[in-house]
Structure formats: C-alpha cells, structure tokens
Chains A and B, each alone.
Chain A
Amino acid sequence: MRKNILDRLGKEWIFFDGGTGSILQEKGLQPGELPETWNLLHPEEIIDLHLGYLNAGSHIFNTNTFGANRLKFQDNLDEIVTAAVNLAKEARKRSGREEDAYIALDIGPTGKLLKPMGDLSFDDAVEIFAEVVRIGAREGADLVLIETMNDSYEAKAAVLAAKENCDLPVFITCVFDASGKMLTGGTPESAVAMLEGLGVDALGTNCSLGPEQMIPIVERLVKAAHVPVLVNPNAGLPKSVEGRTVYDVDPEAFAGFMKTIAELGAVGLGGCCGTTPQHIKNEIEAVTSLPFRAPKPEAHTVISSFSQVAEIGGGAKPVIIGERINPTGKKRFKQALVEHDIDYIVDQGLQQEDAGAHVLDVNVGTPEIDEAELLDEVLIRLQSVLALPLQIDTSDPVAMERALRHYNGKALINSVNGKEEVMHSVFPLVKKYGGVIVGLALDEGGIPDTADGRIAIAKKIYDTAASYGIPKEDVVIDGLCMTISSDPRSALVTLETIRRIRDELGGSSILGVSNISFGLPARELVNSYFFAMALQNGLSCAIINPNNQAMMQAYRSFCALTAQDENFQDFIGAYQNYKTPDKRVSEAVDACRSRVLNALGISAGDLKSSGSPLGGNVSFGASNGGFSGNSGGSSAGQNGATRGASSASSQDGNGNTQGYHSKLMEAIERGMAKPAADATKEALLTKSALDIINQDLVPALDIVGKGFEKGTLFLPQLLMAADAAKAAFTVVKESMSDSQQESKGKVILATVKGDIHDIGKNIVKVLLENYGYDVIDLGKDVPPETIVETAIQQDVKLVGLSALMTTTVVNMEETIKQLHEKKPDCKIAVGGAVMTKDYADKIGADCYGSDAMATVRYADELCEKGLL
C-alpha cells in the first residue's frame, strides 16, 4: 500500500521528475505544437517519457497536462486530462513502482495575465483551474502540482481551485528571476506568506534559472517557509543553437549543484526544462549521499501584498498602519463612497504610502452603500496601484470573505474579539484564505477595565484560533485604547496590557492610537506622546494617521533612539531639512516682507543703503493697507500681501493683459501642483469655491490651453498645468463637500475595444473635469455595447471615443453606429493620432478632437446650446 506522500515529504529525500517539453521536442514535437495533444496522438511516447524518470528513481512524476485548460482545449479538455492521468498510471504499472511513485496532476499557468493588468478575471481563473483539478482528481492523481507560476495572483487562483475541488495534497512552485522577483513583482518571502496562508502542503521554485542561479532564492525560501521546500531548476539557461533550444548544464554538474541545494534545506528535488532522466539519476545519487535533515522553521508573523511583506513583532520594527481609508468622521470621504469616487479613496492610500505607512487599513463601511461590493472594488483598485499590504477592516463576514478571496497576498484582518459568535464566524475565513487576525481584547462581558481581564481574553482568542489550526503567530492582540478623558487611568491599563502581551504571552500587539485623546484639545500632543510610550512598552503595530507630522516624528524618533533605524536612514531622510516651528514662522514672515517690498518697487538693498532698518511690523502694516483690500480685515496680512505681490509680478512676467492674475493662476500656469493647492486653500479664506473655479482655475487653464493650441506650449506643460489644476480642484471639492455640486453635464469617455493606448483619453478626462464636467470614464478596450448601455442608462449626451491604432478604428466606427441607432440624441467626439477630420466625418462622428482641448471646446459649445 502506497503511503500518503505527506507522510514522507519532509521526512526523507523526495525526488521529482525532470523536463517534459524539452524531451518531447527531442521526440519530434514541433515548435508551437501543444505537447498535451500527444496524450492522444502519441500515447506510447508519453509513457516512455514517464518511464525514463520512473526508472531514474523519481518519486513524483507529472502528468502531461501543463497547458491543459479550457483556453487551449475548448473541445476535448476532459479527454486530454483523462488520457494524461491514465498514461501516468500505465507507466507506473510498467515500471513496477506502484508502491512508491506518485502521480502529480500538473497545472501550469493559463497563459493569460489576470486583471487589472491583463484581461482574465480572478474568478474566471479559479474556474479554469478548477475544471482541470476536478478531472485529474476524478481520474486518480495522487497530488496536485501547480508549477511555473510567475504571477502571485494567478498562483492564488490555482491554489484556491485545487483546495476547493479536491482533497489531494497541493504543492506549488513559482518562478523567480535572477533578482529574486516573479514577473509581477512577487518575492520568495511574499509568495511564501500568501501560499502558506492558503494552506499549501509544500512550496518552492522551478524553471527560469539553472540550479546555480537558484541558490540565493532557495536560501530565502527555506528561511521564510514553514512547509517543505521544493526545487526544480532548468538545466541551465536556454540557448538557440541552429534552430534548436539547448541547455548548458550537464547531468554531473547539475547533480553537484542540487547537492548544495539539498544542504540548504530543500527536501523535494527534481528538474525542469532541459533536464533528462540522466540529470535526475545523477541528482538522486548525489543527494542521497547526504543524511536527511529536516529544516526547523522559525515562527514569525508576516503579512504580504503581491510584492512586499511586513513583519510584525519578533524584533521587527514597529509597523505603521495608515487609518485614513475610513469614513468615520470624514464628510468628504463619505461623499466619495456614496458617489463611487474610487479615485479619491485610492488617492488617500497613495498619500499615506508617501507619508511612510507600511500597511493601509481599508474600511468603507457606511450605511448607504453595498459594503461587500465596494470593499471588493476599492481593494482591487488599491492593490493595482500600490504595493503596501492591506488591513481589511469590516464587521460584515460576507464583505470580509469576498475581500480576502480577491486580496493578492496575506492580509491583516480587522477584526475578531473574544465573543464566541464572532470568532466562529471569522476564524474559518482566516483558516481558508490565510491572514493575520486582529483580536480585540473584549468579549460578551464588554471591555475589561484591567489588564488582567484583557490578557485573559487574549488567551481565549489564541486558544480558539488554535482550535481552527490558526497559530498564535497569526493573531495580533488589540490592547484597546480608551480615551483618558472618561477614565484618567485608561492609558495606563492599555500600556500594561501591551507590555504583558509581549512579556507574558510572547505575542504581538496593535492599537488604534488616537482614540486615547478623544474629547481633549490639542489631540496630537497627547497622541504622539502616548504613541512613544506605547512603542516603548512593546507595541508591534499602530493604526495612526501617517500624514500627521507629530505622530511620524514620535515614530521616527523612537526608532532612531532604539537602534531600529540603520544609519538613521529613515530619520535623516525625513528630517534633514527640519526646521523648528519658530524658524518656519520667521522665514515665512521674511518671505512675505520681501514680496511686499518687491511689489512696492523697493529692494531690501535700497532700504539698507538708505540706512533705515526695516521693522517687520512696519512693513506688515503697509502691506495690509496697500494690498489687501479684497482680503478683509480678519484674514492674515500674509494672504493679502502675497496675492498682491504675485499680481504685480505676473503682469510684467508674461505680458498678460488681463487685469486679474492670481497666485493660483500663476501656480497652475507654471504647473506647480503643491503651490496650486496651497494657493487654493489661501484663496478659500476670502472667496467662494465657485468663484475660484470661475475666476482662477478655468481662466488659468484657458491661458495654457490657448498656448497649447497656438503651439507655443507643449504637451508636458499642458499636462503639468492640468495636474496643478487638479490639485487645486481637489482642495475646492473638499471645501464644497457639504453643498451639492453643480456639474455642467455628463460625458462618457472610452478608448475603444481592442485599444489600450489611453493616455490621450486620460488627458481629455482631466481637462473636462477641470472645466466642471462629470466624466464617466469607462477605461480602455471597451466594447461598443458597454458604451451604448452606459449612455442610455445614465442619459449621457456626449461620448468621447479614442483610438490610437489603425486596427481599432473599425471598432470606433461600430460604436458610433450603435450609438446613433440606440441613443440618437447623443453626440460623439472622436480623437486619437490615427484620426483625421475626413475620417471622423466618414465614420459619422459629430466632432473631430484634433487635440486635447478640442473636446472641451466642443462640450462647452453643446453646453451653451443646452444640449448636454
């Protein structure tokens, strides 16, 4: 009776087989011919292939099903996979290895890249793999081997498909290049975190590199992994010699390297492309000369994104979790959720990443929306543009499961608590999808007001997690921050709790730090000092606002003081130009003073030479009187003065004839985003949001737009101005989040089906938005039907289409035809470099957008006529 492979792997040397494709090519497989067809066309050759490896001594050998999926075999997938398993069985029988050889159902990548980079959805990928798994398991494979995975997201889809559709052991090997990266950026550490979370039985690496180049990757895998590590290298790197692909590492050299790899702690060894039965035979001889030694994995708490890991506790630097993606107490954020403004939400994430967050909390729970749907969408968008690991924050188990399923990594999960019901609904999800769970130290009895009570609940959470097979390392205890304004001793209880989590329980802790000061003034003072105290008491992760300077100053100082910032790199990077608040104020006053003097036509030098030292108060008084007529008495003199100064300088600068030219206009024209945002904030003190849009924002864009149309300005300048206008607009929008905003009209923009060149469309989008239009951006590669449906559903009167390839203009024509048929009152503007006026007319477009401004002009025209 054959032992279960899991009873052997990790306890003795287990050997895999070698290359398949390269052997079949030797047997006559043509370039581009699908190897799996040989299961039906040349079954004896496939048996022969297996026999080669079985006779060489491989324990695990792969069915010839690497590329067998419904994308490549629409009609006969079942037949191909069934034949493959049966040929493997036949080979095992003929070799007399019934007792100790195992048939691995071999699963390779789909050949497609998953969304959002590619066009295959995660759920479809799972189903594609599931189909193969079901057939292979039904036919009697002994295990599933997912291999040559070069995208972590696809790897996750394959593992889920295997776990959900059979009870067989699941092994997986991924491809890393010489720099240790998967194609989509994954590292050995990030892959291990995610795959172990999903419950694979063994993992490792194969293909791409020869054994020698794989050594550093194997070292990293063995260090990170807690399950057995598998290594199946190529026989060196492929070379094209006289039209044939050849590999440069011979069996003897291969065996030598594999011995080294075995000594590093890999316990399952075989080969991949270019390796032959001889390679495997030599490998087995070399490796079995070594005594078997099972590696002793270290426990650590790790979460991951598709490409990064964050280690929690265990001597790692404390982790900063950005709290800003959360509607609690934020009007603008709630508005974004209700309006489905995902860009705004994602931008909150990007800002926190720039500010130094290591992990982002994602909470989109608000009563008016479908949380499961929105959380899923936000999570997918976030992980497509940033590489930080995410903390999924929801109390809705349905939303949580969906987010965990689609998360490309091992998430931090916020949260469970000591209540039985909560634990029993969430732990199964953690077990299935992996993740590190935040356990709040409260239960049915409420929040204990002593550290003893909280520690007792922490123990209960650990124990219950363990009963689900979730190790202590995957639980982080929230010691709970309660405001000191209601109980002056509460901070002390919290600090004692986290200290004891570390010292008594040997666990990791987390706190939502800023709760501590609720109800007090100057909260950042209390928060930042408490934060430093908590860190000193062993806090492993902190949920804070990383945009708050005081908090990050406390953090960076703490790390510098506790030898957790090598060479003070972080600290110096952040504060090398640090100025004390006094210094900042005095510099601002000086700058203001010199601007005023400039505006008055007096240079500081003149004053000095005339021997009259200038007092700050004197010049300030002058500026208020002379220039701030429009700023009102209550606003700071600085505002009036700078606005006056810039209006003077711009008149002689650009020779503009307009009488009015604000600081904001200048910032936009010069394409400076940060100054534009600052100038907008300043202007909001004295002007209404709408006035700013009409008097500053749009006129400035007009000046740039005209320069662009005339050819005196180039695209980059237009784009920089658009970026700056967008930054200003964001500030304006923030201020208007209370009031209903007026839109000039809705416009759909899309790059047509088949085309992914969408930069032009994106430029038009930003310009339209800056000019006050509500843009529905359908993205790129958009089918005509989607555009038509959206136009009808939302009653949109203007559609902008772009196509940049000659081959996709036909799809533009088709889209126009369908729109004219089904939404006759809708106007269509087209653009893109292959477009000409003639051709635009010919395909029935209403407007030819010759450049980025043309669509804006056309929209304005329609708007004036009342057609939008």
Chain B
Amino acid sequence: MSVIQELSRSKRSVSPRRKGDGRWALFFLAPWFVGLALITAGPMGASLYLSFTDYDLLSAPEWVGFENYTRMFDDPRFVNSIGVTFTYVFVSVPLQLAAALGLALLLDKGMRGLALYRSVYYLPSLLGGSVAIAILWRQIFGADGLVNQVLALFGVQGQGWVSHPDYALGTLMALNVWTFGAPMVIFLAGLRQIPQMYYEAASIDGASKFRQFRSVTLPLLTPIIFFNLVLQLIEAFQSFTRAFVVSGGNGGPSDSTLLYTLYLYLKGFGSLDMGYASAMAWFLLLIIGGMTVVNFLASKYWVFYDD
C-alpha cells in the first residue's frame, strides 16, 4: 500500500519511456529461460526431428524426410479430422466466449447470491476430463436422456443425439460451451481490474449505464477478451480429453467427433506411428500459429491497452 500512498502524493508526470531494460529482463525471465532450455525446447525439438522419421516407439526412428507430411494429405481420416476440428473450433469457441462474457457481466457485482451463482456455473468446469463425463453426457443426450424427455413433453420424438454421426459433434460442442467457467472467471477477474476512477469520471460526465459499458467496460476489457479468444482458440484446436472420453476413445460414431488431436493420439499411441503423429502436431502448430498471428495483427484494431 505504501507505494500507492507515495504515488498519490507525488505529482504525476510522464517520464520518457526507458529503452533497454536488458538486465532486468534477464532477471525476470531467468526461470522461464531455464525452463525453455531445459524442459520445453528439448522435447519440442525432438518431436520436430521425429516428424521426419518413421518411429513406432518400440524401435529406433528412421529418417524418412517429408514423407509423413506428404502422406497426411492422402489420408482421408486426416482430412476429415481437419473438417471436424474447424467446425468444432469455430462454432463452440464463439458460443462459449459469448456465454462466458454474458454471465460474467451479469454476475459481476451488485446482486445477491453472486458467489453462489458463480460457483454453480463454474462447477461443471471442475469435472475436467473425468471418465464420468461420458456417462453424464449420455444421460442428457442419449436416446432416453434428459433432452429427449423434455422434447417428449412437447410431443417431439427425439433420438440418440450423442451416438448419431450427424449430431454427435453438436453434443461435443455443447459440452465445450457447458464448461464456459474458465473464460468466465477470467472475464470476472478482468472486470475487477478496471479502475473505478474511469466509471466515476464517466458518471460525472453524465454517461448512461449503457454508455459506461460501451466506453469504459468494453474497451478496457478488450485485452482480456483478446486473451480469452487467443487462448480458447489454441485450446480448442488441441481439444482432446472430452472427445476422447465421450467417444469412448475413437472419435466415433464413424469419425464424426474425430478431433485433430484425438486422431493424432490414435496414430501415435494406438497405431504406434509416432513419426506421423509428430508431423501432424507440427502441422497443427502451423495452423494454430497462423491463426494466432492473424489474431495479433487484427488485435491492433480493436484491443485497447492502457500503456
């Protein structure tokens, strides 16, 4: 608190931004650099190398050049998994973020029972990749599940959503939206980070609540929206556990939930084709990396930083 008090006493002036905090950067980044060098870089490099080999985990890898990469595009299951993954990512991520942001705004402050609501909405996200999820999901989207029971009340005959190739991916996306707790918490934290002074200044200026939202909350929340967008995209592209658990491990029915990473895993550990899996991983990295670069470039136009 002392710094803050000193601060408030000191007369503010804008000091020239100093360039070159090299030594300080080294100090602050030291753990990360060590981790990068010792733990992250080696295995990443190894997987890059393995992506150019025929490697079955049980015997030594053999160099095959770009074969794994060229093989991918002749593999119908690979092509299918890309389609499944893009659908999954571009439908469920926006929905999940919208739900998270909406509820975060609703649950931000000034209401009774907030802590309770927040916790209740977060509970599903606590389950993680529990094997129980598969069973729970069948209780909702199965042939005799909750959804169909509700539909039956309206005289609509439902069907086994979770096990129908046309709808299974939809239930998986619903599962992803259902666990919007993580981005919601980040949004909540972001809302709390917005300095009160902005609101006061705005209300002195006579801004309506909606205008306060538009000109204070939203712009100041953009770094967090941006963060959630970038990270949820990265995560959604790598979604694995839920698809694995819900589909019983094979991306079924009939490959309709075969997400990219699930296929990669099945190739690497199921078919013992780790070379191919590694190539898939690096190709995925290119996709996600490209997406992230676009995101960062676009962010210049809509993300507001106060610094």
A binds B: no
